[in-house]
């Protein structure tokens, strides 16, 4: 545990793999903002710039205990294996279409942005189809989430974006309620385990959070895997020859350069005593997944090195651990397992257009979001 400050607000950060696993299953550490002492006493208000990432509305991402299990179960019913199997052909089709466009843009050795042309639109196309969202609305959703996560976005604009997303998803839910179709939104509305159905607010909250989590994490996973492989050509050769699997690449990327930097925030409902420290009741606790992936006690002295053959990579908890593990983890892995081999099959000579150290991250506290990814395809040269 280490003390940190988030835009003037004190908190604690967890960077140990073992401690994170312990705390993430501790029922005394909750997501309910009402358990935060700084929120209770008025030190933190709705004017704090990061409040929207902690108090984003009612959903399984902000609930705990039995209420969380109720919301989570209904989401699991809607995001089931059958739906993932059904979406696979569409992922393959979207991937091929985007690679066709990428190839045309990169003719003659032109530099293209792999993020803008491929990694960014792909997961939004996938999640939009799953939700039953019109394709024409995808650019709006992309720009809204991009602005929401950026620390450069003024606080009042971030609150406006949240309100606009709420209005958009509420309209979508009401349309699907009136005219049900075979999609994730309808699945959430009609999810039936014999218990109380989800309210409009709960469906909206789950959709809003699922798109954010499912889209942003997949963008990062694809780009960071490409960056790792292009920076380690001998490992890329092993992957392309079949010596190392794409699944191994994905898991090592999740460990070494995962899509989530920090998870904001959880709060102890009572003092939590650890071996050499006590987390005070009501303090804010941040789970620092990026640091956890480099934990040398778990991954060895070379934890800062990308190694697609690393046996401990499967122990990564980049999508969380315990009851709040990301429900979209399987979808993100599925998309990456299709996108990455197809990308390198089409462009085996893909190369960075700038030195790897010049690829910078956007100013996003929670997500590992690259600003851009300029490449040359090298095909036909």
**Could you write out the three-class secondary structure of 66-95?**
HHHHHHHHHHHHHCCHHHHHHHHHHHHHHH
Residue-level pLDDT at 146: 80
278 beta partners:
273
Buried b (16+ CB within 10 A) or exposed e, 280-304: eebbbbbbbbbbbbbbeebbeeebe
Q: How many CB atoms are closer than 10 A to CB 266?
A: 27
What does the pLDDT look like over 301-322, one tens digit per residue? Answer: 999 999 999 999 999 999 999 9
CA 319 from chain center: how many Å? 8
Determine contact, residues 262/290, Cβ cutoff 8 Å. yes
Confidence of residue 193 (pLDDT cuts 50, 70, 90): low
CA 120 from chain center: how many Å? 12
Round to whole Å and give the CA distance between 43 and 7: 13
Reading phi first (left if > 0) and then psi (alpha if -120 to 50, else beta), residue 361 is in beta
Q: Is the pLDDT of residue 40 over 90?
A: yes
Q: Is the pLDDT of residue 33 over 90?
A: yes
Q: How many CB atoms are closer than 10 A to CB 240?
A: 14
Q: Is the pLDDT of residue 16 over 70?
A: yes
Cα pseudo-dihedral 21, 23, 27, 31, rounded to 10: -110
Of the two residues 154 and 344, the one the predictor is more confident about is: 344
Residue-level pLDDT at 303: 97
Q: Is the pLDDT of residue 381 over 70?
A: no
Mean pLDDT value across residues 174-184: 92
Residue-level pLDDT at 269: 97
Mean pLDDT value across residues 334-354: 96
What does the pLDDT look like over 238-295, one tens digit per residue? Answer: 999 999 999 999 999 999 999 999 988 999 999 999 988 999 999 999 999 999 999 9
Is the Cα torsion angle 199, 202, 204, 210 positive or negative in sign? negative
In sequence order, the 6+-apart residues with CB closer than 8 A to the CB of 48 are 7, 9, 155
Is the Cα torsion angle 151, 362, 248, 213 positive or negative in sign? positive
Measured in degrees and rounded to the nearest 5, phi and psi for residue 375 equal: -135, 165
Q: Is the pLDDT of residue 130 over 70?
A: yes
Q: Is the pLDDT of residue 379 over 70?
A: no
In sequence order, the 6+-apart residues with CB closer than 8 A to the CB of 353 are 111, 374, 375, 376
Assess whether the previous peptide bond of 188 is cis (omega < 30° from 0): no
DSSP string for 210-254: HHHHHHHHHHHHHHHHHHHHHH-HHHHHHHHTTSS-HHHHHHHHH
Grouping H, G, I as helix, E, B as strand and the rest as coil, residue 199 is coil
Q: What is the mean pLDDT of the chain?
A: 91
Closest CA to 125 of 254, 222, 221, 214: 214
Q: Is the pLDDT of residue 380 over 60?
A: no
């Amino acid at each position: 545990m280490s003390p940190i400050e988030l835009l003037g607000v004190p908190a604690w950060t967890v960077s140990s793999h073992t401690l994170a696993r312990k705390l993430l299953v501790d029922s005394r550490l909750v997501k309910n903002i009402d358990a935060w002492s700084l929120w209770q006493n008025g030190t933190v208000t709705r004017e704090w710039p990061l409040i929207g990432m902690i108090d984003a509305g009612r959903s399984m991402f902000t609930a705990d205990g039995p209420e969380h299990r109720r919301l989570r179960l209904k989401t699991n019913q809607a995001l089931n294996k059958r739906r993932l199997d059904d979406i696979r052909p569409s992922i393959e089709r979207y991937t091929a279409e985007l690679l066709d466009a990428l190839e045309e843009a990169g003719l003659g050795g032109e530099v293209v942005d792999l993020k803008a042309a491929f990694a960014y639109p792909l997961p939004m196309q996938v999640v939009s189809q799953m939700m039953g969202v019109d394709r024409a609305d995808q650019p709006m959703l992309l720009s809204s989430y991009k602005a929401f996560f950026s620390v450069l976005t003024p606080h009042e604009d971030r609150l406006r974006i949240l309100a606009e997303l709420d209005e958009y998803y509420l309209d979508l839910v009401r349309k699907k309620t009136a005219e049900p179709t075979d999609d994730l939104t309808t699945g959430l509305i009609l999810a039936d385990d014999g218990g109380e159905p989800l309210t409009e607010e709960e469906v909206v909250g789950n959709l809003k959070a699922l798109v954010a989590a499912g889209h942003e994490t997949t963008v990062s996973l694809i780009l960071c895997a490409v960056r790792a492989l292009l920076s380690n050509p001998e490992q890329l050769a092993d992957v392309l020859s079949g010596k190392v699997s794409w699944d191994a690449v994905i898991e090592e990327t999740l460990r070494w350069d995962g899509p989530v930097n920090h998870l904001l925030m959880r709060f102890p409902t009572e003092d939590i005593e650890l071996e050499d420290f006590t987390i005070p009741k009501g303090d804010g606790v941040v789970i620092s997944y990026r640091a956890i992936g480099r934990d040398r006690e778990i991954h060895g002295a070379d934890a800062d090195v990308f190694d697609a053959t690393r046996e401990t990579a499967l122990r990564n908890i980049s999508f969380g651990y315990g009851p709040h593990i990301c429900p979209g983890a399987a979808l993100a892995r599925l998309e990456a397992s299709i996108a990455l081999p197809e990308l390198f099959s089409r462009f085996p000579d893909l190369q960075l257009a700038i030195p790897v150290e010049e690829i910078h991250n956007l100013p996003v506290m929670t997500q590992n979001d690259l600003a851009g990814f300029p490449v040359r395809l090298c095909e036909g040269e």
